[in-house]
Amino acid sequence: ETGVTQSPTHLIKTRGQQVTLRCSSQSGHNTVSWYQQALGQGPQFIFQYYREEENGRGNFPPRFSGLQFPNYSSELNVNALELDDSALYLCASRLQGRRGPETQYFGPGTRLLVL
Amino acid sequence: AQTVTQSQPEMSVQEAETVTLSCTYDTSESDYYLFWYKQPPSRQMILVIRQEAYKQQNATENRFSVNFQKAAKSFSLKISDSQLGDAAMYFCAYEANFNKFYFGSGTKLNVKP
C-alpha cells in the first residue's frame, strides 16, 4: 500500500463526453502528477501540480486539465473524449522540499474505456 | 528531447538466479534522476531503486542493484537471487528539473520455479 488512492477504479464513457478522475494523495505531499498508461506501454506524463499550480506538462492537448486541492486531493479532467483516451490513468504524489523531490508514490489507477 | 529506451520487451529467469534488465536514455541535462519501478499484475507501481546522476556510486537496495554508466547513458538493473514475487513489469524512468517524468516501454520479467 502506498497511501495514494484513486476513484473510480473503472469507468466507461462514450466519445465526446467529459470525465473527471480523482486522486487522494498521502498527507503532507505537496506535489501530484498524472500519467496515462495505454495497454502494454509505459506511463506517459500528462502534467504535475505543485502547491495547487501546474508546474510541468507533457505532450497532451489542453482538453486534459487538472486541479489540486489543499486537502491533498486532486482531479484529472478530460473533455471531448476520444477513443485513444482509453487507458489506465495513474496519479502519483510526493513531497518537494528544500532537498528536492522525494520518492513518488503511485495510486492503483483508474481504467477508462471510451466507446 | 528526453527519451528512455528498454530494448527487452520480455525476459525470463530461473528462481534464485540473477537477471539484468537494460535501459538507455537520451538527455542534454547534466543533473537528473533515474529510477526503476516495478508494476505487478495488481497494477500499483512501486519504486525499486533510484540513482542520482551526480553520484558515481551505483545504488543498491538489498537484492537489487544498478549499473549506471553516465557517459554511455545506460542504467541497467540487476536482480540477484530472483524470487517468484519479482515477476512483474519493470519500467525504467528518468526525471530532470523536478517537473517532468519519462518512462520506458517496460520489460516483462518472468520468474520460473
Q: Tell me the per-residue pLDDT of A55-81, one tens digit each, with 9 for 90 and over.
A: 889 999 999 999 999 988 999 999 999
CB-based contact, A26 to chain B, within 8 Å: no
Neighbours of A51 (CB within 10 A): 10
Question: What grid cell was written down for A26?
Answer: 498521502
Q: Indicate the DSSP class of residue A32.
A: E
Closest-CA distance, B102 to chain A, in angstroms, reads 7
- Digit-by-digit pLDDT tens for chain B (113 residues) are 568 999 999 999 999 999 999 999 999 888 889 999 999 987 789 999 999 988 888 999 999 999 999 999 999 999 999 999 999 999 999 998 777 889 999 999 999 99
What span, in angstroms and rounded, lies between the C-alpha atoms of A21 and A11? Answer: 9
Closest-CA distance, B23 to chain A, in angstroms, reads 13
A43 with B105: Cβ contact below 8 A = no
pLDDT of residue B98: 74
